[in-house]
Amino acid sequence: MSAQHEYHFSDRHFKHIAKLVYQHTGIHLKEGKEELVYSRMVRRIRALGLATFDEYIELIQSGHDAELEEFTNAITTNLTAFFREKHHFEYIKDVLMPALLAEKKKKGEQKIRIWSAGCSSGEEPYSIAMTIVDLLPAYWDVKILATDLDSQMVEHSAKGIYDLNRLEKVDKSLIKRWFKQGSGANSGKVRVAQQLKDMITFKQLNLLHDWPMQGEFDFIFCRNVIIYFDHATKAKLCQRYAGALIPQGHLFIGHSESLFRVNDDFKLIGNTIYQNQGVKA
Ligand SMILES: C[S@@+](CC[C@H](N)C(=O)[O-])C[C@H]1O[C@@H](n2cnc3c(N)ncnc32)[C@H](O)[C@@H]1O
């Protein structure tokens, strides 16, 4: 495997790294991902001035916190986009929010909690904020939590600065209202309006670890995240989502994901849209 590589990289190295990745992130690296692992890890080996993959594996195994963070950041795949899977946002605007607001008003509640779990660089929670902002009655307590394992992505999300070309598929009216174009050194960049940022709390969180949040979410986005997990990890995570949602809360997953034979707390009610059946353990 290592003939064309600058550093010796064998099947043993791949298996060892895949095991560490699984332990620390839940990401299941199948056979065929050898080149991906090599290219992502070799950057860390160079940055640290190490000579071999063995040295790098040893460093990770020693529990070096700072490098463990770099290691997990390096292995995550962060592909995302504003209003990715548009039908989810249409559903929120046309179906979910009107029903949720009516239900809350009936109960005399004025609080909404949303979680974007695996938010990557932030396009997803900002898209949620743009979708709901005009639907919310004034003075309601509305918060979106946006979390990701990758600390660099969380930082990027919180800054809310993007290349202008990331907005190619976003409606002109939304761009005009919610993004400020940079000039000088920042030309070609846009900054998200403070009003949207204020709706969101960004935090680093490994979904496999304990969740410090208290209270229930009205809906959760966990899109294009469980695709990297094996069956057992998916099943456990979805069970935890059911427990973290209000009884009829919604879970949105990615276009190539499914909860079929993964979890039966949820009922499929739309294209990759699930509803909690409200049965608490
Ligand atoms: C492909 S992105 C999806 C982004 C966004 N949800 C979307 O659909 O456009 C997957 C994200 O999941 C995050 N992720 C992977 N494993 C995770 C874990 N164990 N805990 C939290 N986030 C994780 C990655 O860092 C990455 O940013």
Catalytic one of 44, 148, 218, 223: 148
Q: Which of 21, 24, 76 to mutate to test the pocket of ligand 1 (most atoms within 8 A of CB)?
A: 76
Distance from the CA of 228 to the center of ligand 1, in angstroms? 9
Can you tell me the distance from the alpha carbon of 170 to that of 261, in angstroms, rounded to the nearest whole number?
35
Nearest of 40, 53, 43 to residue 12 by alpha carbon = 53
The confidence score (pLDDT) of residue 4 equals: 83
Mean pLDDT in consecutive groups of 10 residues from the start of the chain, 281 residues: 81 97 96 96 97 97 95 97 98 98 97 98 98 96 98 98 96 98 94 98 98 96 98 97 97 97 95 87 48
Do 171 and 208 fall into the same domain? yes
| Number of domains comprising the chain | 2
Can you tell me the distance from the alpha carbon of 11 to that of 128, in angstroms, rounded to the nearest whole number?
42
Query: Residue 111 belongs to a domain with what CATH number?
Result: 3.40.50.150
The confidence score (pLDDT) of residue 2 equals: 46
Residue 2 located in a structural domain: no
Among positive and negative, which fits the CA dihedral 102, 202, 81, 258?
negative
Rounded to a whole number of angstroms, the CA Rg of the chain reads 21
Given 56, 75, 94, the domain boundary residue is: 75
The confidence score (pLDDT) of residue 278 equals: 76
Distance from the CA of 17 to the center of ligand 1, in angstroms? 19
Do 167 and 259 fall into the same domain? yes
Which residues constitute the domain of residue 91? 86-276
Residue 72 CA to its chain's centroid (Å):
14
Do 61 and 120 fall into the same domain? no
